[in-house]
């Protein structure tokens, strides 16, 4: 079985994909309504692209 590489994206990219503001993203994270960020350094985080895409798809399906 092949493992497909995971793509990690920045907050700027998450904002562009979702149309949400920074504060809304962090509010949804705090209530566990949005994928958790992945720490990659002392002051740097990223999100897994597939998790963001799945979140978007769920929102589309719930409309």
For the segment 34-60, what is each residue's pLDDT rounded down to a tens digit? 999 999 999 999 999 999 999 999 999
For the segment 6-40, what is each residue's pLDDT rounded down to a tens digit? 899 999 999 999 999 999 999 999 999 999 999 99
User: Where residue 2 falls among pLDDT bands split at 50, 70, 90?
Assistant: low
On whether residue 2 sits in a domain, the answer given is no
Number of domains in the chain: 1
Cβ–Cβ < 8 Å for 38, 8: yes
User: Where residue 1 falls among pLDDT bands split at 50, 70, 90?
Assistant: low
Bridge partners, 45 (sequence order): 39
On whether residue 37 sits in a domain, the answer given is yes
Q: Which domain holds residue 33?
A: 8-62
Decide: residue 1, CB within 10 A, 0-12 exposed, 13-18 middle, 19+ buried.
exposed
On whether residue 3 sits in a domain, the answer given is no
On whether residue 43 sits in a domain, the answer given is yes
On whether residue 51 sits in a domain, the answer given is yes
Tokens at 53, concatenated: 């895409």
């Amino acid at each position: 079985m092949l493992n497909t590489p995971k793509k990690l994206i920045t907050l700027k990219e998450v904002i562009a994909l979702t149309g949400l503001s920074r504060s809304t993203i962090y509010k949804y994270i705090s209530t566990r309504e949005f994928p958790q960020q992945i720490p990659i350094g002392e002051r740097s985080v990223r999100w897994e692209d597939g998790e963001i895409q799945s979140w978007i798809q769920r929102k589309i399906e719930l409309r």
